Every structure is written in C-alpha cells, then in structure tokens.
A and B are shown apart, each in its own frame.
Chain A
Amino acid sequence: MKAADNKTPRKKAVRDEDVRDEDVRDEAPRSQDSSARPFRARTVRARGGLSVRFDVRSFTVVALLLVAALAASVALIGTGDFPIPARDVLKSLLGNGDTGQEFIVNELRLPRVLVGLLVGASLGLGGALFQAISRNPLGSPDVLGLGQGSTAGALTVIVLFSGNAAEVTVGALVGGLATGLAIYVLAWKRGVHGYRLVLVGIGVSAIVTAVNGYLLTKADLVDAARAVVWMTGSLNGRDWPQVWPLLWLCAVLLPLVLGNARGLRMLEMGDDVAYALGVRVERTRMLLMLAAVLLTAAATAAAGPVSFVALTAPQLARRLTRSPGPNLMAAMCMGATLLIVADWASQRAFGADQLPVGVVTGVLGGVYLLWLLVTERKAGRI
C-alpha cells in the first residue's frame, strides 16, 4: 500500500506538459515570497567551517508568536474578578508592584498561565512531531486517541479509586503512555507508516472511548461531575505542582527533539530517501515518537485533554512559515499562543473560571478542521 501511495505524484506529473522551454520567472508566481532565490534559508558562516542555516520567515514567525504568547499571558494574568492593568502586571512580575497585586499575580495567576503556556507548547510540539512522523495532518494525538488514553487513566483513578488530584495526574500520565505504546506496537510492521498509524490510532481511540463511557456509567454523581470537568480540559486551579514537572520535561525533551529535527526533515521525503541519505530511520522515528507521546501525555495529565491544539497548531504554523519541514519551533509557539488566547477569550466572554479552555479550543479546532478539509478538497488532495 505504501509503495503505491508514494508513486502517485510521479505518475500524475507525467501527464503534465513539459514546460522547460518557457520563461521560468514568469511561470512561477508562487515563488515571489522566496524572492526568486534557489535556497530559502540564509546562512551564517564562521571561521573553522562552522555554518548555521535559518529560514528568515520561519524565524520571524517564531519571534512574533513568542511575543504574542507573552502579550496574551500578561493580558490573561490581568483578567479576572480583580482586573489588573498590563503595566501593573509587568511591575508585579518584576517584583516592583504593590503587595496585594504581587500576591494575586505571582501566587494565584502566574502558575496557571505558565501551565497554559507549557501545555500549549507541549501539545503543539507533540502534534507537529506526530504529523511529521505520520506524514499526515490527521496523524495528531487527538485523532490517534492519546487524549482518550489519558482520560481512561484519569477516569480509572477517579471512578474506581476516588483518588486525589495528584493521583489523577499520575493515572492520566500512565494512561497516555500506555496508549502511545499500544499504538506503536500495533502499527509497527517493518517501521511505522503514516496511514497505518492513523488507522490504528482511530481504532484504539474508539476502543478507549467505549471504555471511558463504561467507566462514566459506573461512577456516582460526584465522581462523574469531577470526571466530566477533567475530560473537558481546563486550566482552573492549576498551580506550581503542575508547572515544575512539565517544565523539566520540556527542558529535557526540547533539545533532544531539536537535535533530531534534521533527520525528521529527511524522513519527510520517504523512508527510502532518508535511508539513502544516512538517517537512522527507525531510531530517529522511535525516539521522536517517544518524545511526542511523553509531551502529549504530560500536557494532558496537567490540564486534561485540551482538544484540537495538537491538531491545529502545527498546521497553522506551517501556513504562516510557508516552509516545508516539520516547523517544530513555530508549532510549539503556536500551541502556547493558541491555548493562552483561548483561555483569555473564554474568561473575557464568560467570566473567570466559567468555561473550561478545552471547550473553546474544541470549537475553534472543529471550525478549523472543517476549513482544512474544504480547502484541501479544493486543492484536490482529499
């Protein structure tokens, strides 16, 4: 199945007319943004053979998204039953505010925003990794059932053991990791391949959803209410104990992931090409999938299954950078921005802690997914 899929582009292209003799510059209106240069990236070279390449547009997008995420964070900290102007928020963050405001900003609201930023970033990065590995925009953790797996873990703890918040977190983490492992093992056949990964993920997702439904019917009313709130994905009441583990995980995984990003970029062109170029295909893929599962499971454990961020962030980032390649940094910053903006929007529109952020991202993500399907259909890809 894989070989046949991969051949189609070539087969299709043969039918096109050969346009070699025509004026190339006039023929390529889409090339304008790359200002007719053969290589998109700019290179910085130093003596001793060191050279670093970066794409100006991607770099700018990452920088702008970072600014947006931080600005939204300040706005979010200032939002609530006791509004604080942005200037005072910044003062308090730097330790120059008045005592009352500093308490609200640094003790009450900052950890929640940090959890939001980290969860968004982890989901964005995890989603970008999954989509790149499966070479499919649908190959994201939401669709693959990782969120459902975490939910199953959390529900088990809530319903069967009436566990406390920390135990629920552990349950969600274990559930997510177990689901990730199950998908990998079931999809593995001389290497994990895109369609197989998506199909297996959808199957696993269906099974786990059924289990979740069963667990909910078994729960008493109090547990069920708690479970449903958890299942929507929310930042309410998140505090420093949720910040630190996520921060450490990101600090360890981010360099690992970025160190393998170049190999992942080669994997985009198919396993055979990547092999031929000297990428250790299976090792790279397994390592990155493990990182993606860890990031997603940890984010879900901290905030619940916030829907659609992992699916939409990489696709939005890609459309902004207009760059092939996994766009990992851009997807990560986009995830953080999306989550914080969604949380801020829900608080502004409905008041503090009324609407869990997962509802907003779910609605936005659903609309986005429909738009994606419609445009891809117009482009003839689906």
Chain B
Amino acid sequence: MNRTSANNPSANRLSAENVTLAYDQRVIAEHLSVEIPDNSFTVIVGPNACGKSTLLRALSRMLKPNQGRVLLDGQVIQSMPAKKVARTLGLLPQSSIAPDGITVGDLVGRGRYPHQGLLRQWSSEDERIVRESMSSTGVAELADRYVDELSGGQRQRVWIAMALAQQTPLLLLDEPTTYLDIQHQIDVLDLCAELHEQQGRTLVAVLHDLNHAARYATHLIALRDGSVIAEGAPSDIVTAELVEEVFGLRCQVIDDPETGTPLVVPAARQTRVAPAVGVADTSSTTEARDVRDGGDVKDAVNAAKGF
C-alpha cells in the first residue's frame, strides 16, 4: 500500500513512456506514452486490434516493450522482483483456467501467493484477507463450492476476488465483462466502481462497450492503431467526432438519461450507407467487425493485416 522508492513523488505510480510494443515482428504500437492517474478508474477503449489489450499486457509487465519503458513507482517494471510487482499491481487476465476440483475459497486463497513463502504458507492475515475479498465480491457464501459448478457471472466474481486477495493498490482488468450477459456485466462494473470508490484502488480496465466505459470511467483513454487519440474525463472527450475518428462509426452522442454521462447511439443503417467523409479507412472497418474476439493473438494478426 505504501509508496516505495518513488523517484518523483509528483508522478503517477504507473505509466508507459514512449513504448514500442510488438509480438515477434508484428508491431502493435510505436512510441506510445500513457499515464494512469492515481486513484482513477481508467478505462481503455478502442476498436479491435487497436492495441488495448497489448497495452494492458505491457503495463502489467507480461509483454516487454521493444523500446521505451513501463514505470511502476518510478522503477522500470521489468527490473523489479516479480513478487514485489505482484504485491503492488494485480491483473485479471482474459485467459485463466480454474483447476479441476478446486473450491472457491482455495482459488481465492491463491491470490495470497505473492505475500507467502516456503515457511509462511498461510498466516491468519491471509485467511482474514481472503474472507474479506470473498465477502466484498459477494462470493462468501460460495466459499466451499467447486469453481467449475458456478455460473459465468459468479466465476468472474471469484476471479476478481482472487485478484483482490492479492491486496494490490493497482488493479488491471482485461475485458472483465466479456462473455457475461448484460445483468452480470453491470454487476461486475458496479463491483469495480465500489472497489475504486470505497477502497481507493486505482483500476485500469479494457472494455468493449463504449457506453459502459463512459458511465463508469473517471478517466478514459481512446486508442486507435496503437496511438492515443484522446484521453480525459468521459464527459469531456466523448463526442460524435471522436467516436467517428476512433471507431469509424457515425453516431449521435446524447446524455445518458440515468447518469448524465455521454451515451453513444449509432446512426441508423440507412444514414450510414453513404460513405463517411474522410474517415473509416479500410483497416478500422475490418477491425470493428468482430467485437467479440479480443484475444491477443488475433489482435496481433489483425493488427498486422491492418498495418
């Protein structure tokens, strides 16, 4: 929880400086710089293959930048001990496998790994924090159930509980709502908002739904082709022009009747048949086609085609 060894106390805890990100030879982003404001709920949006998951991987030190650096508390993240990073920065990845026959309590308990050692395997604090994490995500009553018996929404809450048990001030979430129905999407996002507001954690999430992003984010980063097109509070930056520029989609932006945040309403098909003026190049339309597949490999392949 404490800020350790920050060279520059005014800087944000997590940032990417001028990074070039690539899978093998496929360059996803060049000279990209991003700051994650402390205590924000930052949401990264953009069309498929724009590099948003890749950016999240770089921020969580799973992808080493070819150039530039990712800084955590003023230190280059790759140079820090793995467990120390894991005590500061948590990640809920897209791909996670629940081992066969594991209970919810045991899975959430595995989130304590970075705080444990060979002779400190399960302290009473570990147990307390795991119970707290389960109750704050609403899975406490499922503690002795097997994870593979749970529904998708419950399962996602369990994985979030595991990330919470890690007790990191920073938490990154890679498409936490994918594959969930609308009720569970809102459920998970409400949970994130609570974690942000009540526990003061800095959250960074990649989301596909622009309206969810506008509703829940305190800070929005819009990416296209590996560059930041706009960033700031959603009410300041989400405009019809921005959506058209980032997603190549003509739309109206109105006030959300529930929250007053920007609400993106795509233009009717008839009015979109006429080619959009000067926007929507071929790459972004292909990328926007399949909203569901966000896998990194696919991202990389699509990006390679796009470039």
Interface residues of A, Cβ cutoff 8 Å to B? 1-4, 6-7, 9-11, 13-20, 24, 27-28, 30-31, 34, 36-41, 43, 45, 49-53, 135, 190, 259, 262, 265-266, 268-270, 272-273, 275-280, 322-325
What's the count of A-B pairs with C-beta under 8 Å? 177
* Interface contact A6-B124, CB-CB below 8 Å: no
- The secondary structure that dominates the B interface is mixed
B123 at interface (Cβ–Cβ under 8 A)? yes
8 contacts between A and B (CB under 8 A): A6-B94, A18-B153, A24-B144, A28-B144, A36-B144, A51-B123, A266-B113, A277-B114
* Interface contact A276-B144, CB-CB below 8 Å: no
Binds A, one of B78-86, B197-205, B248-256, B282-290: B78-86
In Å, the complex CA distance between A232 and B206 comes to 55
* Interface contact A276-B163, CB-CB below 8 Å: yes
Provide the residues of chain B in CB contact with A272, threshold 8 Å. 62, 91, 93-96
* Interface contact B97-A2, CB-CB below 8 Å: no
In Å, the complex CA distance between A10 and B184 comes to 13
B156 at interface (Cβ–Cβ under 8 A)? yes
B296 at interface (Cβ–Cβ under 8 A)? yes
Return the contact of A273 from the options B93, B105, B144 (Cβ within 8 A).
B93
**Can you name the residue of chain B whose Cβ is closest to the Cβ of A32?**
B144
B110 at interface (Cβ–Cβ under 8 A)? yes
Assuming A10-B152, A10-B155, A13-B150, is B121 touching A51 (CB within 8 A)?
A: yes
* Interface contact A278-B104, CB-CB below 8 Å: no
Assuming A14-B180, A14-B181, A38-B144, is B103 touching A7 (CB within 8 A)?
A: no
* Interface contact B113-A262, CB-CB below 8 Å: yes
**Can you name the residue of chain A whose Cβ is closest to the Cβ of B57?**
A272
Instruction: Looking at the assembled complex, report how far the CB atom of B201 sits from the nearest CB atom of chain A, in whole angstroms.
Output: 15
Nearest 4 CB-CB pairings of A with B: A278-B86, A38-B105, A38-B143, A272-B93
In Å, the complex CA distance between A176 and B246 comes to 54
* Interface contact B83-A269, CB-CB below 8 Å: no
Provide the residues of chain B in CB contact with A13, threshold 8 Å. 150-152, 155
Assuming A6-B96, A31-B145, is B120 touching A50 (CB within 8 A)?
A: yes
* Interface contact B123-A45, CB-CB below 8 Å: yes
Assuming A10-B179, A13-B152, A270-B93, is B62 touching A275 (CB within 8 A)?
A: yes
Provide the residues of chain A in CB contact with B156, threshold 8 Å. 10
Provide the residues of chain A in CB contact with B143, threshold 8 Å. 38
In Å, the complex CA distance between A7 and B62 comes to 18
B160-196 CB mask vs A (1 if < 8 Å, else 0) is 0001001000000000001111001000000000000
**Can you name the residue of chain B whose Cβ is closest to the Cβ of A194?**
B97
**Can you name the residue of chain A whose Cβ is closest to the Cβ of B131?**
A38
